[in-house]
Amino acid sequence: MSDALRIARGQFGRVALLDMDRPLVRHAHPHCHVLLKVEGADTQFSVRDRMVPLTDESAVLINAWEPHAYEHDLLRPKTVILALYIEPRWLEHFRTNWGASHAPDFFETSVGSISPDIRRLSRELADAMVHAPHDAALHEDMLGRLMITVIERFAAWRTLPYSVSDMARRGAADFRIRKAVAMIKADPGGITDMNRLATDVGLSRAHFFRQFETTMGVSPRVYLNVQRLERAVNAISDGEETFSAIGSSLGFSVPAHFSRFFHDHAGSSPSVFRSVTRLARTEFETLG
């Protein structure tokens, strides 16, 4: 059973140390996303339907809103993966134009050959998350050094990315698509029928799906699931609601369906995710 070993959260976004032995469904994130193998079997991800390897020698690099899936080979042993979900505003503290990490072409390729420094820094961060789960300042410092090394190796950050103009054009999208996005963001649990959503914003189903994916880079369903997942992550980590209540607020009438959705998107059950996310806070409060 795949589950989270440790989760670190902060202004940087979040870092998950995942012990993976089952696939993840096609999904996306609003962050730039870096995947590094820590130990175990070599494995692979599908990024925009292209299979890319995750090994001791290669990292998987996924841009914000880029659809991807974990393609675990059931005949292979588990893989421990360090998964980075990084906030653009945090990266701006290192370089102003690193705020463009939320753009669709920040990483020019979906796989890259890692350096000895990246391998060392990723292992050190994973070890720190396991052995010092309460030390948030240490995690952020180590993550900063790792991300500097990753971006300097894999992103064309010295020049202004073309994606800035792409993002500007996105703001000028069809007002009906903007309305649909606003409705999904406002109440992801209330969106239960994409055909109804298309009708509500005044588009045919075919035109709505085509325009939405052209504008946002993902299908309406994937976008909705991103909003559901991010709300679930925050509610599970920071709140006291039951998983049943969280699932219900996000449109899942059956608790088991919410648990499966979360596991299939986050790589961990809600209960384990809550437990390991709160480990750092509990240990910090105990030490204090």
Distance between CA atoms of 217 and 79, rounded to whole angstroms? 29
Give the three-state DSSP class for 19.
strand
Each residue's pLDDT, cut to its tens digit, for the chain (288 residues) gives 689 999 999 999 999 999 999 999 999 999 999 999 999 999 999 999 899 999 999 999 999 999 999 998 888 899 999 999 999 999 999 998 898 898 888 998 999 999 999 999 999 999 999 999 989 999 999 999 999 999 999 998 766 454 444 555 555 678 999 999 999 999 999 999 999 999 999 999 999 999 999 999 899 999 999 999 999 999 999 999 999 999 999 999 999 999 999 999 999 999 999 999 987 665 444 444
pTM score, whole prediction = 0.91
Q: Which of 235, 219, 233, 236 shows the shortest CA–CA distance to 184?
A: 219
Residue-range definition of the domain harbouring residue 128:
3-163
- Label residue 142 left, alpha or beta by phi (over 0 means left) and psi (-120 to 50 means alpha): alpha
Distance between CA atoms of 112 and 3, rounded to whole angstroms? 26
Q: Is residue 95 part of a domain?
A: yes
Q: Is residue 286 part of a domain?
A: no
Position 24 scores a pLDDT of 95
Q: Is residue 152 part of a domain?
A: yes
Q: Is residue 29 part of a domain?
A: yes
Q: Output b/e per residue, 189-217; b: 16+ Cβ within 10 A.
A: bebeebeebbeebebeeeebbebbbebbb
Tokens 């009708």 label which residue? 199
Q: Which of 79, 83, 90, 28 shows the shortest CA–CA distance to 59?
A: 83
Domain match, 67 and 171 both? no
Domain match, 188 and 154 both? no
Domain match, 26 and 159 both? yes
Count of domains in the chain?
2
* Beta-sheet pairing, 24-27 with 111-113: unpaired
Q: The tokens of 139 are what? A: 């995690």
CATH number of the domain that 195 lies in? Answer: 1.10.10.60
| Cβ count near 65 (within 10 Å) | 20
Longest dimension (CA), the chain: 58
Q: What does each C-alpha distance from 68 to 29, 44, 47, 153 come to in angstroms? A: 9, 11, 4, 22
Last residue of a domain, one of 105, 139, 163: 163
Residue 151 identity (one-letter amino acid): I
Q: Where are the beta strands (DSSP E) in the chain?
A: 3-10, 13-20, 24-27, 32-40, 43-47, 50-54, 58-62, 68-70, 79-86, 111-113
CA angle centred on 222, ends 217 and 227, rounded to 5°? 105
Tokens 């599970």 label which residue? 236
